[in-house]
Chains A and B, each alone.
Chain A
Amino acid sequence: MHSRRFWQYVRRHGRAYLIGYAASAVAVAMAQLSPWALRAAVDAIQHGAGGRLGMFAGILAALALAEAAATYVMRIRILSVAYRIESDLRHDYFAHLQRMPLRFYQRMSVGDLMARAVNDIRAVQRLAGVGLMRSVQTTIMIVASIAAMLTLHAGLTLLMLTVMPLITLLYLGLGREIHRRFDRVQAQFASLSTRAQENLSGIRVVKAFAQEPAEQARFAEEVDAVVGVNMRLARVQGALWPAIGLIFGLASVVLLWQGGDLVIRGGLTLGQMVQFSYYLARLTFPMVALGWITNLWQQGSASMQRLDEIFSVTPEIRDPEHPAALATPRGALEFKNVTVAFDGARVLRDVSFAVPPGRTVAIVGPTGAGKSTLVGLVPRLYDPVQGQVLVDGRDVRSLSLVSLRRAVALVPQETFLFSDTLAENVRLGLDGSEEPAGAPDGGAAVTRAAAVAQLAGDIERFPLRYETVVGERGVTLSGGQRQRTALARAVIRDPRILILDDALSSVDTDTERRILAELRGIMATRTCLVISHRISAVRDADWIVVLRDGRIAEQGTHETLVGADGLYAALYEQQLLRDELDAPDAGPITTEPRPPSRAPRA
């Protein structure tokens, strides 16, 4: 076990282990003494002296009682501590993962992280518990038993120990092979769960495309492979314990044969021979356990290694050494020659623009232009490789993450809801960095935010209203309802800087207009970044930035851009509903503001 972290956890509970081991030594000592009493009794019986039998029986019982008490202390101490270590480890794992940036989660699969949290932490717990307990206990037991046997009759002991090298050979030979095959079993098992996970997460697609038979065939392959690797493991593993049993059986034969011979020839008393058989029996279990313990060590250290892999990742995005706080942020925002690259591929190049406090800047551009990446720089979901992002004139990398993110609310392009009540999902927007528990209930705030996001009407129609529990990722809501919940979450936060990443894409234009009207009051005093593909959502912005292939293609106000005959003008033109040319006689509409009869570029 090379993991320093593991030993740190163990050391933290050093006292408990020491007490446990002391108790273990006592238990072994008692276990060693009882065969002496037994032998004395047998010898006494053999010589017809029954008078002291009661005393021997009493001694045996007393020894057993002491042994049981010591065993109990050992188990309760060490096994409990192992669960505490497990709990600490799990806490640290989660706390560590909370510091990992978005890029980390894009690289790692949740299934993998879960497997480590479930299987690997359990393996470490078993090592810290039964593993460490048995390792020491077994060693003491083996040494003590052999020592006791040697004092009884060295020659006979050595004779019996001739079978021991067989055990070593067995472990070396089979052990390595078992380890290899076991690894393969684990890998195949992981592959099976990944298949299942993918199929079930994508079940809507599977059904929509009638892929069930193909999926079943692929799953069957995985299942068959699982059977195959397990049978290969079983062939060697199934031999291990019986083989150890066999070897100890042989030792027992040696004892019967040679020991018996000694008794016949008077070199040993019958009582001593019985005592010997006792030690041998006490040796068998530890020896069998040795294989099992080796296994625990191997699995435990492999698992700890997998956990260390995660622990050793330092988040690329973290607090600076001397983080500054944004006490009263004004919300001035500036991108200064920002370049972003993912795995060497540049996604944004040399982007610069500024947003004065309280202003709204819209970002438009084709799919994959880098819009989401750009706004993700503000709350530091990503960091640029070159250039700076400044909030109130300060590089975001010099601020503490909490203080930065407290000032910002970003509604991500892809909505994530927790399978909790709607109220809880909205309340999540309230800053949680101050009060760890029992944060303000915010009942009124929730309804207000829901009203701004035009969600209140929908919620009123649900039987359980705000207490409606949504399915995983919010699957029991319509697309637009989900998106508006995420919006309400940002509204309740009351941020200095509000960022909407295409946050109204699943909302109809009527609802969009009403949301924007409500938001206008909020946005008037706040700095806003708005990404949208819809002209209707961006035209009122103070400034519009057009991104293309990671660069700023053009920027300006709606009016100037429409006149500029660039990308924006083209976009605008395409969104014009030119059908209205076919419906000039659309009677009642003429009472509304008159529609232009052609593109307003002229």
Chain B
Amino acid sequence: MNAMIDEDQIIGRAYDARLMRRLLRYVRPYRRVVAAAIGVLLIASAADLVGPLLYRVAIDRYIAPHAAGARALGPASDARGLAGVAALYVAILGAGFAARWLQSNLMQYVGQRVMADLRMEMFGHLQTLSLGFFSRTPVGRLVTRLTNDVDALNELITSGVVAIFGDVATLVGITAIMLWMNWRLALAAFVVLPAVFAVTERFRRRARGAYRAVRTRLARLNAFLNEHLMGMTVTQLFTQERRSRARFDELNASLLDANLSSTRNFSQFYPIIQLLGAIGVAVLLWYGGGQVVRAAATLGVLVATVQYAERFFDPLRDLSDKFNILQAAMASSERIFRVLDEPVTVEDPPAPAPLPHGRGRLEFRDVWFAYDDDEAWALRGVTFAIQPGESVAIVGHTGAGKTSILNLLTRFYDPQRGQVLVDGVDVRRVAQRELRRRIGLVLQDVFLFAGTVDSNIRLGNADLSTEDIRRAAERVGAHRFIEALPGGYGAVLQERGAGLSVGQKQLIAFARALAADPEILLVLDEATSSVDTETETLIRRAMATALRGRTSITIAHRLSTIQHADRILVLHHGRLVEEGRHADLLRRNGIYAKLYRLQFEVEARSAG
């Protein structure tokens, strides 16, 4: 739980140069497009700035030339001049429109491409991470990384970066024009700037804390909700609704608190900046008006300066929104990079050795293994060998380490000590996919994808014919009920196969392993634990012919499932304690004999 919360925690800085540099790396392939976008953006900003300038020209030259002290031309030529200025204005507006539209399309393009690249990179990386990572990390969180977090970056790229560029350009442009027109007036308007900076700084500091609180609490709430929706039936069965609602309300209230305090901060910022802007204008008017009266400035310059001063504060006022975008993007990229930086602990070797063909000899050599490096050994010095074509069963108490053996064999994890060899080659020296393609695995935890029955058996393998799929289903005795589903093999299954009985799900997962037609190995981890004995017997018969000559490993608690194995390995607390044929093990009178007798006792008593 703690680990989970920490993962959602973010440092929450609005700007982090290191992150930014790393982000820019993704933009680099599109730098030409970005350059073009910035080019048109400058045009658009310039077009924006021209308006008040044209007003000034019009006022000083044509509308109120006497007030400016300029020479008057006569009403007729004034009107013509005015029309000329208006025409120029229209042309500039047209250019500005085209530039903005072009710019937004270009940046969208860049943003979308960068997102696509990031998503593919992250998805690809996730596919290489070990199961250890996935058992620590809730799925919902990773989905968020791939979807919403990447989207937050898009906003930064498409509107954020450009808007900030645009704003800076506008601010610099306005300042330059104002200073150029009349530096005294400009300075008068700028007297409020120190206050603006102070307010902004205070806002920024508070916003950062508030943002962090909102994000963390929201993530916590959503994680809770997600899990409790998945486990809703359990909650209901144990009448825990009230308790879990109380917990939910707590999380909800703490999120509300964070939202309210963030709102307070934002609600203050906007009017204060607006007020400071207005005060700037008032000062400007008071001082500038005097200047005009004293003929130290023209009226047109004053009006234009007032207009520019107003525009100067617009981007500052919107700063709060942009700040949010920036902050969201930084937090998201922080988390995205954390996923990308997750080390691949189970790695393919740089030059994978080829796996020799078609034999299927396996060997464990003094294997020690713990899931976490805390010496809680799941396997302790396990050594055994399985010959090609042999069928071997693994039995033992629950938690003895049976599944762990399979986890090492398929290289879902690597052992701390010792070696796992397939056909004499250490599994760490071959490519994982190469290895797993040779193995057909039925996992203890059945997982069905939302999709058709057919696609669940076939998985990505387009080469299989419908006949192959059907044959696999027949072998495990699933054909009958699949046919009875509405739509048969095309029936669409809900999330995790809801709507099927547990045994039916298991049979589909079994059929999947058969359809994959593994070259050397079939590994069954409690593959029929929820299946009735009749179907199980049927499966065993079908498999006996189908798998002749292939190595197989079966794990089962129901001993009738494994009694025909060539050899039985008995695990106890992570150690291999017995090994041999059924009859030999009975003679040894050890753990196996005990497990056996317990099932046996039933018959003994009922017979007696």
Contacts and interface: CB of A to CB of B under 8 A. Distances in A.
B116 A593 contact: no
A533 B556 CA distance: 13
B240 to A, nearest CB: 4
Given A106-B499, A206-B127, A507 B113 contact: no
A50 B225 CA distance: 66
Contacts of B253: 87
Contacts of A169: none
Main SS of the interface on chain B? Answer: helix
Given A91-B248, A208-B410, A234 B502 contact: no
B533 interface: yes
A368 interface: yes
Interface stretch (B16-24, B262-270, B353-361, B383-391): B262-270
A87 B603 contact: no
Interface stretch (B77-85, B165-173, B420-428, B464-472): B77-85
Interface string B48-82: 00010011001100111001000000010011001
Contacts of B124: 216
Contacts of B226: 110, 114
A436 B596 contact: no
A322 interface: no
Contacts of A197: 139-140, 143
B13 interface: no
Contacts of B459: 205, 209, 211, 214
A87 B437 CA distance: 50
A506 B506 CA distance: 13
B444 interface: yes
Interface residues of B, number: 194
A59 to B, nearest CB: 8
A367 B586 CA distance: 31
B1 A105 contact: no
A187 to B, nearest CB: 14
A502 B263 contact: no
Given A106-B494, A368-B501, A588-B589, A193 B143 contact: yes
B494 A109 contact: yes
B600 A595 contact: yes
A409 interface: yes
Given A596-B603, A600-B607, A94 B123 contact: no
Contact of A249 (B51, B146, B278, B436): B51
A252 B498 contact: no
Interface stretch (B26-34, B92-100, B204-212): B92-100
Contact of B279 (A64, A79, A207, A559): A64
A61 interface: yes
A8 interface: no
A505 B530 contact: yes
B417 interface: no
A375 B399 CA distance: 29
A508 B396 contact: yes
Contacts of B293: 45, 48-50, 53
A508 B433 contact: no
Contact of B583 (A237, A478, A579): A579
A371 to B, nearest CB: 8
B26 to A, nearest CB: 14
B460 interface: yes
B9 interface: no
A45 B143 contact: no
B437 A210 contact: yes
A182 B359 CA distance: 56
Main SS of the interface on chain A? Answer: helix
B271 interface: yes
B275 A201 contact: no
A208 B436 contact: yes
Interface stretch (A152-160, A443-451, A567-575): A567-575
Interface in A8-56: 34, 38, 41-42, 44-46, 48-50, 53-54, 56
A385 interface: no
A219 B123 CA distance: 8
Interface in A75-125: 75-76, 79-80, 83-84, 86-87, 90-91, 94-95, 97-98, 100, 102, 105-107, 109-111, 113-114, 117-118
A203 interface: yes
A7 interface: no
B599 A577 contact: yes
Contacts of B82: 256-257, 260-261, 264
A215 interface: yes
B507 interface: yes
Contacts of A226: 112, 115-116
B522 interface: no
A62 to B, nearest CB: 9
A21 to B, nearest CB: 16
A116 B363 CA distance: 51
A485 B441 CA distance: 26
B299 interface: yes
Given A45-B293, A210-B436, A215-B127, A472 B447 contact: no
Contacts of B113: 227
Nearest to A514: B598
Given A214-B460, A257-B82, A432-B243, A264 B499 contact: no
A519 interface: no
B126 A418 contact: no
Interface stretch (B128-136, B178-186, B545-553): B128-136
Contacts of B116: 223-224, 226-227
List of 6 A-B pairs having minimum Cβ-Cβ separation, nearest first: A480-B398, A214-B460, A64-B278, A367-B503, A600-B607, A238-B104
Given A577-B559, A589-B586, 17 more contacts: A45-B289, A46-B67, A50-B290, A98-B236, A105-B233, A106-B494, A198-B449, A201-B139, A202-B447, A208-B443, A238-B104, A242-B96, A365-B532, A472-B138, A574-B536, A576-B560, A577-B603
